[in-house]
Structure 1
Amino acid sequence: MTDQDANSPSLHAFSTWEPLLRLLRERFTPEPGGAAEYASGRIARGGWSLPSRTRGRRPTEAIDAEVAALEPVHGALAAAGVEDVTFTAKLAASGPVTVRVMGQSPAVESGLGAQPGALLLVEGAVPEPWRRLPEPPGPDAGPAPSADPALLERTLRERIPASAVGATDAEIAETEERLGIALPEELKALYRVTRGRWQDWGEDAEAAEAAYTALRCELFPLTEVYVADTASRPTLWRFGAMEAVVTTPEDAVQGLVGSPGWIVFADNGGGDRIAVDLTPGPRGHVGQIVMLSHEYDIGAELIADSLTDLILGRESEPSGGGPAPDGPAAVAHVNRRSLPSVAAAAHPDLEVLSIGVWDAAPLSLAPVLDLPRLRTLTAYPGTLADPLEIAELKGLEYLELAPEDWRTLLDAGAVPRSLSAAGITTRGAQSPTSTVTLANEILALWGRPPIVQVVLEGELE
């Protein structure tokens, strides 16, 4: 947090929150003499989430009122150098009003609404799929028979206007040095014809369009070519921990988050990246062309056996590794619409077990206690028969439980020390105050920075 400007509103001054508290009291209109109302929300520099009595689209005047009421808080965030805060306000029809302001912690990810996100118990830790490296190509792996750098270059020179500016050998060498990897010959052949800088076309829009048509993609300049390793596809723990890397013997593409052998050189025009794959799956070819969807954090899709095939329009049938399918294998969901029991989820390859909404008796974890690869467990409130069974799961790196289940583990000193991150799942409109207190208790076990809470009280005239 930076020093507060003398002329700026203070984030921890009651006056900064007065306009918002007045708006919320009008919105919730507590009954005189009745119980106080509680309202929680999140306020960020670029937006906000406030409670409302109505559902659906809010009228313009309601949004305008929120903008005006939030102006002092937004100003205080900017002055303090803070990205966002959450709050809980206790609103009475008369008398003092209390607001609890909860700041950021470097050990807590952003959550939904006012609730905290995943607790980062180990500095710098990432979910297991983000640590997974590709299997090296087999001894028989090699380029597709269709890979033909000479044909590729010849075809592009025929299709792309002669005014195209190609990359020099020095520019290609600079790119290889920056990436720490040699560019495959097909990719070099492409860039020798055009280096991907649209400025090179000047005012000749027709020539630029011809190049785009010939390339069948939006080519990146050499300076923007990058390696799609796992760091290039960041995610939140609560999402990443639910994924699993799965590659079958029939896959042409390894089902990875990222690979040091995925060289991204283009876009499909819709936000999906196109890459040369130098670490193919068991049925793939070195140098095949894959597409990384912007809708997924994991996996890639084979679109051509070679860059030559892509340019010549000989695209492959979609194939490749991706998110693990639901079912009793790497990722399993037990709930009233999916798997009917924990026993049905038990499998030697099980890595992720998610227990969701459940109408029957609470479940025992006994069928999965000895599984060697189980690393993620999430359980909806009221679904576990005995939360202390969790202490027997020695390989957990992510655990997401209801507050009452966390309380059981904490009181028994049974929180698994193997955890790298944790989540607290709540049901209904639960106040974040108790959740934050619980989160800080869990963070303290690992000596991590707590979520700072400041309580402000004042009168609304």
Structure 2
Amino acid sequence: MIEQTARGMAEQIVTHAPKGWARAVISGRAGGGGSGMTGGYTVPGTRAPMRLPEMHSRLMRLAEVIREERGWDPVSWEIDCRPSGEYRLVTFRDAVGRVTGHGGGYEVVLDPDYRLPQPGLRQQAGTAAPAGDPELAATRFRAYLERRAAILGHAEELPTPVTVAALDEAERRIGRPLPADLRALYLIADGDGIGYRHRCLIENNAWLSLESLVAEYTDRREWQDRPWFGWDLEWDAVVFDTTPGDTVRRCGGHPGWIRFATSEDGNYLAVDMDPARDGRPGQVIATGRDYDDGPVYVADSITSLLQRHLDLLEQGSYEKYDDYISLRGACDVGTRQIIGGIPDEVPPTLQAIHINDATGIVDLSPLTAAPGLRRLHLNRSTTADLTPVRDLPVESLRVTLDGGALTPLAGHRHLASLDLNATAPVDLTPLRTAPNLHGLDLSGAEIPDLTALAGLANLRYLALARQQWATLLDHGSVPPGLAAVRLAGGDVTFDDALALASRVGLDTGDALRVTGSL
């Protein structure tokens, strides 16, 4: 059956081929409810566009056949077709798969259960008392409703309140206490929604009913851990700190965050019941779909947030749309990320900068004005001196080094990932004293002595070019703790990746290969 499926894929690729094509190499992933592919046709003398035929139904059939035959789901695949009609299909479980984007190549996952720990789990826990006051919160909430009613010309209809017993049961079900000031609000109204219409009382978000709060916590627990997007995206990921710093744990999600309001687009307000060192239990944060870089601190409590809402109404900082009020003046966290070049005045709140296509050698010294810089990426840009990085908490560093050395990174306690390109050979020895370095991409650098990698016991991800891998493997110097590796390069094949996977300890003997001719 797989032979028939492979032939159908080849027929479709050949049928849609452009004039004068010499080869088509297409790869991707199928199964798990979806499919994807990349690659295209080679046309000598031209820069052929990425003309890919629509193959979703055939790919899902491929996934179905292989699932029945081997039990793999999803699967990775690559098909190579020629104008002569010859074709070759290679498939394997998705432990080996094509990587698109920066660097390209194939990724090999050696430990599918390993996840890089979130930095927030290592932060010191907060010990301060809650800032919220249930009686004051109730007083402010009633005053807030009265002022809104004066603006609208009528009181807003809200759900009936819940009981103390219902609140106690909700806490039992989620296994955590709710802040006292949030409990006080539920004793006034069970959220702000009547049917499908919400008043969006809190920070312009729909305030969830108590039952919806519990369901959000217990039925969708996957958000409580930061989503894992695969090693190609995660190996150099960074979670930003909040402003003020060290108040909220640097996590993409956490069991101590209880969502109680939503903007209905995948983003939420949550009360944080497990804050970092300088935080307070019950503080309000923003988290969700648009906060993969980390949560945003909103207020130290529901009580304080309500006072801010009262102040905004008093100042006239709102818009009235028919029967709806939208507050203006959301919390300002400052500039956390810059894409482009280094500005004349570097904002002290800067945590990430992408320096793109700079002319000349980039001087990094102005970045010392950003004491919280976590991500420094030089894209198609070059620097000669990493000394300014020495005293910055940079965790993700992507750099092209022009004749410089890695010496300033020796003992760097924050550096977690390094993507290195270089114009001259580079000595890796300084990296052996970077205690938290877990990811390296050296595919764009000449490394005279790759055996230094053997001493990086904490390394979990390593990307090298074909010849670099051959050298490292021949010397028996592969770091011992790798969970994933990448064979970098735009011209590497699935077979190349399977060969590497085998050499680094993954059994690939059951890979499927089908050849034929139309």
TM-score by length of 2: 0.69
Alignment equivalent of 1:102, drawn from 91, 100, 104: 91
Distance 1:430 1:108, change over 3 A: closer
Q: Comparing 405-414 with 162-171, which one deviates more in the overlay?
A: 162-171
Q: Could you say which residue in structure 1 is the equivalent of 2:207?
A: 219
Note if 1:185 corresponds to 2:180: yes
Mapped to 2, the partners of 1:253 and 1:147 lie a distance apart of 25
Alignment equivalent of 2:271, drawn from 239, 252, 276: 276
SS at match of 2:93: coil
Shift of 1:129: 2.0
Note if 1:142 corresponds to 2:130: yes
Alignment equivalent of 1:39, drawn from 25, 29, 34: 25
Mapped to 2, the partners of 1:196 and 1:372 lie a distance apart of 47
Structure having greater relative contact order (Cα 8 Å, sep ≥ 6): 1
Distance 1:216 1:325, change over 3 A: same
Shift of 1:435: 2.0
Q: Could you say which residue in structure 1 is the equivalent of 2:151?
A: none
Distance 1:297 1:118, change over 3 A: farther
Mapped to 2, the partners of 1:275 and 1:252 lie a distance apart of 14
Mapped to 2, the partners of 1:178 and 1:11 lie a distance apart of 52
Shift of 1:429: 3.5
Unpaired runs of at least 5, structure 2:
68-72, 149-154, 310-329, 337-348, 353-373, 377-388
Query: Match for 2:426: what amino acid?
Result: L
Note if 1:438 corresponds to 2:496: no
Q: Comparing 428-437 with 150-159, which one deviates more in the overlay?
A: 150-159
Q: Deviations over 1:173-209 (max 9, x none)?
A: 33322321111112222333443484xx24xx7xx35
Q: Deviations over 1:343-393 (max 9, x none)?
A: 2333431332413332x1121111221233322222223432221110122
SS at match of 1:336: strand
Q: Could you say which residue in structure 1 is the equivalent of 2:225?
A: 231
Q: Deviations over 1:124-173 (max 9, x none)?
A: 211032782542213x4432579933225534664573452333334433
Q: Could you say which residue in structure 2 is the equivalent of 1:124?
A: 113
Query: Match for 1:413: what amino acid?
Result: G
Q: Could you say which residue in structure 2 is the equivalent of 1:423?
A: 485
Q: Deviations over 1:12-46 (max 9, x none)?
A: 6443333234236556633xxxxxx3513225334
SS at match of 1:174: helix
Shift of 1:84: 4.7
Identity %: 22
Query: Match for 1:86: what amino acid?
Result: W
Could you say what the CA RMSD is over the residues aligned between the two structures, in angstroms?
A: 3.8
SS at match of 1:216: coil
SS at match of 2:111: coil
TM-score by length of 1: 0.77
SS at match of 2:489: coil
Distance 1:109 1:295, change over 3 A: farther
Query: Match for 1:216: what amino acid?
Result: N
Mapped to 2, the partners of 1:38 and 1:232 lie a distance apart of 37
Bigger strand share:
2
Shift of 1:10: 3.6
Note if 1:412 corresponds to 2:467: no
Note if 1:459 corresponds to 2:517: yes
Shift of 1:49: 2.9
**Structural mapping, 1:281-292, within 5 Å:** 281-292=276-287
Q: Could you say which residue in structure 2 is the equivalent of 1:318?
A: 333
Q: Could you say which residue in structure 2 is the equivalent of 1:371?
A: 434
Query: Match for 1:176: what amino acid?
Result: E
Does structure 2 retain, via aligned residues, the 8 Å contact 1:118–1:423? yes
Mapped to 1, the partners of 2:509 and 2:237 lie a distance apart of 27
Note if 1:23 corresponds to 2:41: no
Distance 1:258 1:223, change over 3 A: closer
SS at match of 1:212: coil
Q: Could you say which residue in structure 2 is the equivalent of 1:87?
A: 78
Does structure 1 retain, via aligned residues, the 8 Å contact 2:137–2:306? no
Q: Could you say which residue in structure 2 is the equivalent of 1:33?
A: none
Mapped to 1, the partners of 2:498 and 2:49 lie a distance apart of 30
SS at match of 1:279: coil
Does structure 1 retain, via aligned residues, the 8 Å contact 2:206–2:264? yes
Distance 1:25 1:459, change over 3 A: farther
Note if 1:400 corresponds to 2:463: yes
Query: Match for 2:26: what amino acid?
Result: S
Q: Deviations over 1:417-456 (max 9, x none)?
A: 122x222142233333212321233243xxxx54853222
Mapped to 1, the partners of 2:188 and 2:145 lie a distance apart of 6
Q: Could you say which residue in structure 2 is the equivalent of 1:342?
A: 406
Query: Match for 2:7: what amino acid?
Result: S
Shift of 1:289: 0.9
Mapped to 1, the partners of 2:202 and 2:412 lie a distance apart of 49
SS at match of 1:223: helix
Mapped to 2, the partners of 1:287 and 1:316 lie a distance apart of 17
Q: Could you say which residue in structure 2 is the equivalent of 1:3?
A: none
SS at match of 1:161: coil
Does structure 2 retain, via aligned residues, the 8 Å contact 1:339–1:345? no
Does structure 2 retain, via aligned residues, the 8 Å contact 1:108–1:116? no
**Structural mapping, 1:152-301, within 5 Å:** 152-155=140-143, 158=146, 161-196=156-191, 198=193, 201-202=194-195, 208-209=197-198, 211-213=199-201, 216-220=204-208, 221-226=212-217, 231-243=225-237, 250-292=245-287, 294-301=289-296
Shift of 1:277: 1.7
Shift of 1:236: 2.1
SS at match of 2:182: helix
Shift of 1:264: 1.8
Does structure 2 retain, via aligned residues, the 8 Å contact 1:156–1:190? no
Mapped to 2, the partners of 1:252 and 1:129 lie a distance apart of 16
Distance 1:286 1:239, change over 3 A: same
Mapped to 2, the partners of 1:39 and 1:380 lie a distance apart of 23
Q: Could you say which residue in structure 2 is the equivalent of 1:333?
A: 397
